[in-house]
A = this chain, B = another copy of it.
């Protein structure tokens, strides 16, 4: 008999050789139908693998990533089987599970092309095969055996992969007529795969190298229930509708130019206004909270980044150093603001009384990303960090964390993203030598972070071993309106940079001491944050953030003069307003401007011009009645105050 320990700590005895699936069945037949993978002694494995010794066991239901991963990975194999039956001789690259669904890179061969039109046939074949309840059978194979198998089949991509594997580590999975080189884990059978949808097709170079052959990448998703697929497709449609790239274009917020370069956003007037609204709001808040703001160039000498250690990370595989006509001079586009901030810290002497020194900058940094990885504003090559560095004494780490967590809570509330959790990353105590900084300081900082998070009532997960080598950290995960999670703010303790830049302050003992440096960002990147904001609000920004607060719609040209007067009054009252004086029917003007998500539509005609009023419509909500222009200005000011004061 072997002892199985469950996540709740309970222990049960089972016969040796029992599988996770059998254990699940013994607990309840219903449970057995809901689990898709298991973690046995910290290894994620097939449900059918026998357990031969005492072990810890976690059974994975759909909610666990491990379950979905096995489900979708098995679905990729199922799609491959269907493709092989429909396109005999088709060759296979790789076919992994991804965050949502799976894909397979294939080479249809014979001049054949697979397009979305072929999806229904492939889906039907997959459904047919799945309902046959085929088992996924694993077997280990020697390198020679595996190579022979795929050489015989003519699958050159697989043989290339096998040639790079170590003998003794190779396994094959077979279901029905299809065998794949694969590490697994997989479902016991195709039976749970009830709902199937292929999503898109794209070109993808073999191994991501543009010198290789272009394969066909087919994306799909599957679920154990049709309802789940239906919901997912609605979610997908909603996500598409909210896609920040689409809304950014519709609302003329930002654009990209081939000549300027991929991944380098150009902020159009309305986008620049939105971005500036965020910066201005944050600036006021920062100043009230004792920050000083600095401004530094976007390049720095290579020696600066050698001192900071960034050259090692960004020097070769990123934007390459910039040379000048003067010999021996090399600059880099700055990948981070911290080295510049350290140089400012070092420009003047500091006393312990001045600390903490909270130095902030909206600093634009440049990081090279492969062109294939660029995506709208979420993955770019230039982005502006709402960056700050707290230079403090070791005994101030806790109060600085409290201050930053409080700031993050305030800001996230103002931008209506207040559903968030945090992860605290600590060092691995068993390998203390991997980390820099004294044991005493680490103890102090880790304790400070945990206590600070506790005192601020933050929902946290504490993960040992996840700290950077230079210090522990706390990251915020924000959930958006579609339930998607985004990693935004981060707070990181750093014992490394102060050493590298030889930062010091004069202590009360009149001796030089080393300050602690805390890196923190709230939005992280303004570009990425604005993408999240657009997708979260579907472009209907909170009033305080909206680039235009109102648009004036004269019913006819007769009222253009009155419209111009109101425009001036509102713009002078700091209420950014536009005018739509096109020669169009008022109904069309309302519809067009509703689509632009401008919060307030101000309709003016005979009556309004006569008594100095505007007829107010709230975007998406309809008529709010008529008001004096001054009343409207006050009304807007109050709404903004409500949104930003709490």
- Give A residues with C-beta under 8 Å from B: 252, 255, 257-261, 264-269, 271-273, 275-276, 287-288, 292-301, 303-304, 307, 317-326, 329, 331, 333, 339-340, 343-344, 346-348, 359, 364, 366, 368, 370-371, 382, 571-572, 576
CA distance A343 to B256 in the complex (A): 9
CA distance A35 to B296 in the complex (A): 51
B572 pairs with A259, CB closer than 8 A = no
B347 pairs with A299, CB closer than 8 A = no
A299 pairs with B364, CB closer than 8 A = no
Inter-chain contacts of A576 with B (CB < 8 A): 287
B303 pairs with A259, CB closer than 8 A = yes
Inter-chain contacts of A346 with B (CB < 8 A): 257
State whether A368 and B300 are in contact (beta carbons under 8 Å apart), knowing that A268-B294, A268-B344, A293-B276 are contacts in the complex: no
Which residue of B252, B293, B299, B325 is within 8 Å of A273 (Cβ)? Answer: B293
A261 pairs with B368, CB closer than 8 A = no
Q: Which of A259, A343, A346, A366 has the most chain B CB within a 10 Å cutoff? A: A259
B261 pairs with A300, CB closer than 8 A = yes
Inter-chain contacts of A293 with B (CB < 8 A): 269, 272-273, 276
A sample of 13 inter-chain contacts (CB < 8 A) reads: A255-B343, A257-B304, A259-B307, A260-B304, A266-B340, A268-B344, A268-B347, A287-B571, A288-B572, A320-B322, A322-B322, A325-B368, A326-B371
**Nearest 3 pairs between A and B by C-beta?**
A269-B292, A267-B295, A259-B304
Chain A interface mostly helix, strand, loop or mixed? mixed
Inter-chain contacts of A260 with B (CB < 8 A): 296-297, 300-301, 304, 339-340, 343
In the complex, which residue of chain B has the Cβ closest to the Cβ of A267?
Answer: B295
B344 pairs with A264, CB closer than 8 A = no
CA distance A318 to B264 in the complex (A): 22
State whether A299 and B261 are in contact (beta carbons under 8 Å apart), knowing that A287-B571, A293-B272, A317-B325 are contacts in the complex: yes
Closest CB-CB distance, A643 to chain B, in whole Å?
A: 19
B299 pairs with A257, CB closer than 8 A = no
Which residue of B275, B324, B339 is within 8 Å of A319 (Cβ)? Answer: B324
Inter-chain contacts of A344 with B (CB < 8 A): 255, 266, 268
Inter-chain contacts of A307 with B (CB < 8 A): 259
Closest CB-CB distance, A163 to chain B, in whole Å?
A: 25
B359 pairs with A261, CB closer than 8 A = no
In the complex, which residue of chain B has the Cβ closest to the Cβ of A257?
Answer: B343
CA distance A344 to B319 in the complex (A): 24
Additional pairs, 6, CB under 8 Å, beyond known A257-B346, A260-B296, A320-B323: A260-B304, A261-B301, A268-B294, A268-B347, A272-B294, A324-B368
B571 pairs with A288, CB closer than 8 A = yes
Inter-chain contacts of A359 with B (CB < 8 A): 269
In the complex, which residue of chain B has the Cβ closest to the Cβ of A343?
Answer: B257
Which residue of B265, B271, B288 is within 8 Å of A297 (Cβ)? Answer: B265
A366 pairs with B299, CB closer than 8 A = yes
Inter-chain contacts of A331 with B (CB < 8 A): 261, 319
B348 pairs with A252, CB closer than 8 A = yes
State whether A259 and B297 are in contact (beta carbons under 8 Å apart), knowing that A269-B359, A288-B572, A325-B317 are contacts in the complex: no
CA distance A237 to B576 in the complex (A): 49
Closest CB-CB distance, A155 to chain B, in whole Å?
A: 30
Inter-chain contacts of A318 with B (CB < 8 A): 324-325
In the complex, which residue of chain B has the Cβ closest to the Cβ of A296?
Answer: B266
In the complex, which residue of chain B has the Cβ closest to the Cβ of A383?
Answer: B297
In the complex, which residue of chain B has the Cβ closest to the Cβ of A283?
Answer: B276
Inter-chain contacts of A269 with B (CB < 8 A): 292-294, 359
Inter-chain contacts of A258 with B (CB < 8 A): 301
Inter-chain contacts of A347 with B (CB < 8 A): 252, 255, 257, 266, 268
B267 pairs with A294, CB closer than 8 A = yes
In the complex, which residue of chain B has the Cβ closest to the Cβ of A572?
Answer: B288
Inter-chain contacts of A295 with B (CB < 8 A): 266-267, 271-272, 275-276
CA distance A307 to B258 in the complex (A): 12
In the complex, which residue of chain B has the Cβ closest to the Cβ of A273?
Answer: B293
CA distance A333 to B259 in the complex (A): 14
Q: Which of A264, A271, A288, A321 has the most chain B CB within a 10 Å cutoff? A: A264
State whether A300 and B364 are in contact (beta carbons under 8 Å apart), knowing that A293-B269, A319-B322, A344-B266 are contacts in the complex: no
Closest CB-CB distance, A310 to chain B, in whole Å?
A: 12
State whether A326 and B370 are in contact (beta carbons under 8 Å apart), knowing that A287-B571, A343-B259, A347-B266 are contacts in the complex: yes
CA distance A379 to B268 in the complex (A): 31
CA distance A343 to B267 in the complex (A): 11
Closest CB-CB distance, A288 to chain B, in whole Å?
A: 7
CA distance A252 to B258 in the complex (A): 42
Inter-chain contacts of A323 with B (CB < 8 A): 319-320
Inter-chain contacts of A572 with B (CB < 8 A): 288
Inter-chain contacts of A275 with B (CB < 8 A): 295
CA distance A57 to B469 in the complex (A): 79
CA distance A305 to B269 in the complex (A): 23
CA distance A307 to B259 in the complex (A): 9
Q: Which of A295, A321, A326 has the most chain B CB within a 10 Å cutoff? A: A295
Inter-chain contacts of A288 with B (CB < 8 A): 571-572
